[in-house]
Amino acid sequence: MKNALILYNSKTGTTKNYAEEIGRFFKIRDIAVNVVPIEDYDEKMLENVDYLLLGCWTSGLMLFFQQPEKNWTNFASRLPSLHGIKVGFFTTYSFLPGSMFRNMAKQLKGKIEKHSVELKSKDGHFSWDNSVALAQFIS
Ligand SMILES: Cc1cc2nc3c(=O)[nH]c(=O)nc-3n(C[C@H](O)[C@H](O)[C@H](O)COP(=O)(O)O)c2cc1C
């Protein structure tokens, strides 16, 4: 059985909800999944993980300079090398995720070769497009 780990940073609950919906996608495909807030992250959780989804709410000046906020960048700096794990990003936002994914990738430079999926949602709900993208991610 494959294993997925979903680590999210949420301030007001939208990204938490999104993380849980992403988790349901894995569950119904018989992939074991652990959905965890970054505050509870422990390196041991990465053992035997095949798929890692890293999520953070979009922080910026609404139309410009979107980036993960400090709690997430601190968390990212604590992550070990993730080589061998398939990694994807997700975010929730109000207007525009803009440079969010690019800046998340920047924080993980050297720890991942690339990220293989980007999922975004305005309201924390998992869309049909998200489902198609994630199906490709796990194939
Ligand atoms: C300080 C602050 C900055 C934000 N900046 C942006 C932004 O630049 N672009 C955007 O689309 N949404 C922005 N938002 C909206 C949040 O990304 C959005 O409400 C998100 O879903 C909150 O997630 P959460 O409920 O998991 O905390 C911002 C919100 C806050 C509080």
Q: What's the pLDDT score for residue 97? A: 94
Give the Cα separation of 53 and 18 in Å (integer).
11
Q: What's the pLDDT score for residue 62? A: 80
Q: For residue 138, what are the CA distances in angstroms to 1, 47, 133?
A: 13, 18, 9
pLDDT in tens, 66-85: 999 999 999 999 999 999 99
* Cβ-based neighbours of 137, under 8 Å, separated by 6 or more: 51, 86, 88, 116, 117
Q: What's the pLDDT score for residue 33? A: 98
CB-ligand 1 contact for 92 (6 Å cutoff): yes
pLDDT in tens, 15-40: 999 999 999 999 999 999 999 999 99
Return the CA Rg of the chain.
14
| Mean pLDDT, rounded, for 4-16 | 98
Structure-token pair, residue 102: 């690019």
Mean pLDDT (the chain) is: 97
CB-ligand 1 contact for 136 (6 Å cutoff): no
What are the two backbone dihedrals, phi and then psi, of residue 126, each rounded to the nearest 5 degrees? -85, 120
Type of residue numbered 125: H
14 alpha carbon – ligand 1 mean position (Å)? 10
Give the Cα separation of 6 and 82 in Å (integer).
14
- Atom 27 in ligand 1: which residue has the minimum CA distance? 11
Residue for token digits 């007001």? 12
Max Cα–Cα distance, the chain, nearest Å: 42
- Could you state, in order of their start, the residue ranges of all structural domains in the chain? 3-138
CATH H superfamily, domain 3-138: Flavodoxin domain (3.40.50.360)
| Mean pLDDT, rounded, for 54-63 | 93
Full-model pTM: 0.97
Mutation test residue for ligand 1: of 17, 57, 69, 103, the one with most atoms within 8 Å of CB: 57
Give the Cα separation of 91 and 98 in Å (integer).
11
Structure-token pair, residue 84: 């061998």
